[in-house]
Amino acid sequence: MSKIKLLTIAVIGLLILNFLIIGFLFTHKPPHPPKKGSEGEGPKNIIIQKLNFDQQQIADYQKLIDDHQTKLKNLKDQIKETKQLLYQQLNTDDPTISHQLEGKLGALQTEIEQTHYQHFLEIKKLCKSDQLKNYQELTEELAQLFNQNQPPK
C-alpha cells in the first residue's frame, strides 16, 4: 500500500471520528443547574419551608421580596453609576473626587447590608409565635444559605 493511500485512509478516518464526536456532543448535552427564579431550593423556598408559612404569609412574603429586590436594584444601579464616575477619575490628577466616590461606594454597600437586615426583620414580623423558634434556627443558617448562591472566586 502506498503512502498516499495510507494517508488518505487516515485522514478520512480522522474526519469520521471528528464528526462522530461533534454529533455526540450536540446530542448528549449535560444537564444545566436550575436558573435563578425557577422552582427549586432557592432561598425563598427554603425560608417558606423552614418557617412553615401559610398561604397568606407566603403572599405577604412575596410582597416583601418584591420591595426588597426593588430597593437592591436601585442601590446596585447607584453603585454602578458611582463606579463609572470613579473610573473616569483615573484620567485626572485630583484625588479628592475619587476619595469622595470611594466613600459613597462604601456608604452604598453599607445601605445594601442594612436593607438585607431590615428585610429579615420584616420576615420575623410575618412569623406567628409558634414559628419564632424556626426563625431563630433560620437566622443561624443565613450566612450559608446566601453564600451558596455566590459564584466561586
pTM: 0.65
* Residues 137, 104 share a domain: yes
* Number of domains forming the structure of the chain: 2
**Which CA distances in Å does 121 have to 33, 112, 117, 139, 144?**
31, 14, 6, 10, 18
Q: Residue 130 and residue 37: Cα distance in Å, rounded?
A: 29
pLDDT tens, residue by residue, 60-74: 999 999 999 999 999
pLDDT at site 153: 44
The residue among 46, 37, 105, 112 whose CA lies nearest residue 74 is: 112
CB proximity list for 14: less than 8 A, separation 6 or greater = none
Same domain, 21 and 49: no
Residue 84 in domain: yes
Average pLDDT over residues 101-116: 94
> Torsion-angle region of residue 37: left (phi > 0), alpha (psi -120 to 50) or beta?
left
pLDDT greater than 80 at residue 150 = no
Kindly tell me if the per-residue pLDDT of 136 is higher than 50.
yes
Here the cell at position 11 is 485522514
Q: Does residue 53 sit in the same domain as residue 98?
A: yes
Residue range of the domain that includes 71? 42-147
Instruction: Give the residue, 37 or 129, on which the prediction is more confident.
Output: 129
Query: How high does pLDDT run on average in the chain?
Result: 86
Phi-psi region of 30 (alpha: psi -120 to 50; beta: other; left: phi over 0): beta
Residue 110 lies in a domain: yes
Residue 37 within a domain? no
Contact 118, 64 (CB under 8 A): no
Taking residues 77-87, report their average pLDDT. Answer: 94
Kindly state whether residue 6 falls inside one of the protein's structural domains: yes
Confidence of residue 37 (pLDDT cuts 50, 70, 90): very low
